[in-house]
Amino acid sequence: MNTTDYKNEEWIRGYHRTSRAWYATEKDKHEPRIEFGFYHKGGFPGTIGEMSIRWKYLDDKLVPYLHAFDDSWKALSTFTDLLEKMAQWDNKNITEDQFVQLLDNTGFLDLTKYQQNLSPGKQSRTVHSPQNKGLKK
């Protein structure tokens, strides 16, 4: 992938807040994650560069860290405006909401699915926990 791909009008800078999405788990809410990068406007073929800011508890503090596999480094290098704003928060434990403000202020679009969109006639998936009915001897 070359950097000219990122300038193609089919790709947008966006982010997903897993802690606020309709599918968020308790772990997502407890240790949030924001995935950001270049996403296709139509949703498919997905992304050409995605990384995340994740929060983890260290010494009873929720601390952010950057998580980026090497196939996203070229995309990350194009986010100089975001990286400069992140540098202003160095060692200040930026919160999830504060990081979202940085993304919004640097032109990233919120792509989070806050509600489950179902096709007409479709039911939401319900997961039932197994009932222990005991074993018959």
Whether 82 maps to a domain, the answer reads yes
Between 106 and 125, name the one with better pLDDT: 106
* pLDDT of 122 above 80: no
Which of 36, 9, 31, 12 shows the shortest CA–CA distance to 100? 36
C-alpha span between 98 and 116 (Å, rounded):
25
Whether 119 maps to a domain, the answer reads no
Q: Work out the mean pLDDT of the chain and round it to a whole number.
A: 85
C-alpha span between 131 and 25 (Å, rounded):
22
Q: Within 13 Å and on the Cβ side, how many CA atoms surround 22?
A: 9
- Report the share of the chain in percent with pLDDT over 70: 80
pTM of the entire predicted model:
0.78
State the residue range of the domain holding 98: 3-110
Write the CA distances from 25 to 38, 120, 134, integer angstroms: 25, 25, 29
> Residue with structure tokens 């070229």?
74
132: tokens are 């222990």
Whether 135 maps to a domain, the answer reads no
Which of 13, 10, 133, 122 shows the shortest CA–CA distance to 78? 13
pLDDT digits (tens, 9 = 90+) for 82-98: 999 999 999 999 999 99
Write the CA distances from 126 to 9, 130, 131, integer angstroms: 38, 12, 15
Structural domains in the chain (count): 1
Whether 121 maps to a domain, the answer reads no
Whether 10 maps to a domain, the answer reads yes
Dihedral angle sign, alpha carbons of residues 3, 4, 9, 10:
negative
Whether 77 maps to a domain, the answer reads yes
Specify the pairing of strand 109-110 against strand 11-17. parallel
* pLDDT of 6 above 90: no
